[in-house]
Amino acid sequence: MKYFQTFLKYRYLLSNLIGRDIKVKYRRSVLGILWSVLNPLLMMVVISTVFSVLFKGGKFGETNIPFHVYYLTGATVYNFISEATSTSMMSVFTAAPLIKKVYIPKYIFPLEKCLFAFVNLLFSLIAVVIVLLASGIKFTFTMLLFPIPLLLALVFSIGLSMLLSALTVFFRDIVHIYGVFLTAWLYATPIIYPITLLEGNKKLMLIMHLNPMYYFVEFFRKVVIYNTLPNWQFTLVTVGVSLLMLVIGILVFRQKQDKFVLYM
Amino acid sequence: MSNAVEISNVSMRFNMAKEKVDSIKEYLIKFFKRQLLFEEFMALSDINITVQKGEVFGLIGLNGCGKSTLLKIISGIYKPSTGTVKVNGTIAPLIELGAGFDMDLTARENIYLNGSVLGYSKQYIEEKFDEIVDFTELHQFIDVPMKNFSSGMVARVGFAIATITKPDILIVDEILAVGDFLFQEKCEKRINELMSGGTTVIIVSHSIDQIKRLCDRVAWIEKGKIKMIGAAEEVCDLYTSAK
Give the residue extent of every domain in chain A: 2-263
Q: What average pLDDT score do residues A165-184 get?
A: 92
> B233 pLDDT band (50/70/90 cuts)?
confident
Average pLDDT of the residues of chain B: 82
The beta-carbon neighbor of A100 closest among B76, B77, B79 is: B77
Query: With an 8 Å Cβ cutoff, is A59 touching chain B?
Result: no
Average pLDDT of the residues of chain A: 89
| Residue B94 lies in domain | 3-242
Check: complex ipTM more than 0.90: no
Surface-to-core class of residue A11, CB atoms within 10 Å of its CB (0-12 exposed, 13-18 middle, 19+ buried): middle
Query: With an 8 Å Cβ cutoff, is B174 touching chain A?
Result: no
pLDDT of residue A196: 78
Tally of domains in chain B: 1
Q: What average pLDDT score do residues A95-116 get?
A: 90
Q: Do A98 and B99 touch (CB under 8 A)?
A: yes
Query: With an 8 Å Cβ cutoff, is B89 touching chain A?
Result: no
Q: What average pLDDT score do residues B4-21 get?
A: 77
CA dihedral B145, B146, B149, B150 (to 10 degrees): -160
Does B28 score more than 80 pLDDT? no
Other C-beta atoms lying within 10 Å of the C-beta of residue A37: 18
Q: Do B24 and A173 touch (CB under 8 A)?
A: yes
Q: Which of A171-180, B1-10, B89-98, B108-117 has the lowest mean pLDDT?
A: B89-98
B-chain residue closest to A9, CA distance? B119
> A75 pLDDT band (50/70/90 cuts)?
very high
pLDDT of residue A87: 95
pLDDT of residue A233: 93
> A109 pLDDT band (50/70/90 cuts)?
very high
Q: What average pLDDT score do residues B17-41 get?
A: 66
Does B37 score more than 70 pLDDT? no
pLDDT of residue B21: 63
- Chain B positions touching A97 (Cβ under 8 A) are 99-100
pLDDT of residue A62: 53
pLDDT of residue B69: 87
Does A110 score more than 80 pLDDT? yes
Query: With an 8 Å Cβ cutoff, is B36 touching chain A?
Result: no
Q: Which of B19-28, B71-80, B116-125 has the lowest mean pLDDT?
A: B19-28
Does B102 score more than 70 pLDDT? yes
Does A61 score more than 60 pLDDT? no
pLDDT of residue B178: 63
Query: With an 8 Å Cβ cutoff, is B39 touching chain A?
Result: no
Q: Which of B116, B122, B170 to mutate to test the interface with A (most CBs of A within 10 A)?
A: B116
In the 8-state DSSP scheme, what is residue B207? -
- Chain A positions touching B91 (Cβ under 8 A) are 103
pLDDT of residue A155: 97
- Chain A positions touching B100 (Cβ under 8 A) are 97-98, 101-102
**What interhelical angle do A11-26 and A2-9 show, nearest 10?**
40
> A128 pLDDT band (50/70/90 cuts)?
very high
pLDDT digits (tens, 9 = 90+) for B194-224: 878 888 888 888 888 888 888 889 999 888 8
> A108 pLDDT band (50/70/90 cuts)?
very high
Does A252 score more than 80 pLDDT? yes
B-chain residue closest to A262, CA distance? B14
pLDDT of residue A50: 84
* Helix, strand, coil percent content, chain B, rounded in steps of 5: 40, 30, 30
